[in-house]
Amino acid sequence: MKKFFVLIVLFALPIIAYLFFSSGQNNFAKLPVLTENVEDLNDFESLQGDSVSLEEKISIVAFFGKDLDQIKGHTFNLDQKILEKYYEFNDFQFVIVLPESAREEAIRFSDEFEAIGNPENWKFVFSSEEKVKAVFESMNSGFQLDKNLHTPYVFIVDKDKNLRGRKDDEDYGKMYGYDASSVADLSNKMNDDVKVILAEYRMALKKNNAERKN
């Protein structure tokens, strides 16, 4: 009986391990780089008057445009499905890129959103419309900003200012951004990909620390 049990375990374990490691498309792998050298936010200013950079941070970047009332549902989805889970990471940030004309509306929007979410870790940054367009176009995503400089898609930018995403998603093919209006995309795709890139950097940090000790 013991020999029979051992044989079952030896046979089953490799199959279970295979299913576990292949259960997600991007699990246990690096998230692909789709665009290198996204333009930084050197000419932008935060609500507090500080400078914000994409370097040395894993950034979720959004372009929410001039009419923030139209995207309250998007922000709630994003906050609940993604951002709330990862605020605790010091090297993680959520950056909302806006034209200077949206500054007053962003202050009001942030105050109102406190009733349903926590905007404290959001970084609103402002510059000219031309600078907003330049940052967006540097991603080479194939998406377009509308007349209000808005897109529902949000983007993952790594610490080296590279746009990350999926090269062969089963639904979209090459996936540059994640639709904040789609709870399914945020929950099933973006959440998975944020986990992957955070794990990637944690593993790299552990490796560097181990090499230093040796």
Topology of domain 31-213, CATH: Glutaredoxin (3.40.30)
What's residue 23's pLDDT? Answer: 43
* Residue from 108, 115, 97 nearest 41 by CA: 97
What's residue 106's pLDDT? Answer: 93
What's residue 9's pLDDT? Answer: 46
Cα–Cα dist 205/96, whole Å: 27
Residue 194 Cα to chain centre, angstroms: 6
User: Which residues, 6 or more positions from 176, have their beta carbon under 8 angstroms from its beta carbon?
Assistant: 34, 35, 139, 140, 141, 142, 143, 153, 155, 163, 165
* pTM flag (> 0.85): no
Which tokens belong to 87?
Answer: 């605020």
What's residue 8's pLDDT? Answer: 53
Residue 162 Cα to chain centre, angstroms: 12
Which residue's structure tokens are 């576990």? 20
What's residue 10's pLDDT? Answer: 52
Q: Which sequence spans correspond to the domains of the chain?
A: 31-213
Low-confidence stretches of the chain (pLDDT beneath 50): 6-7, 9, 12-28
What is the Cβ-side half-sphere exposure of residue 118, based on CA atoms within 13 angstroms? Answer: 11
Residue 69 Cα to chain centre, angstroms: 22
pLDDT, tens digit, for every residue of 86-102?
988 888 999 999 999 99
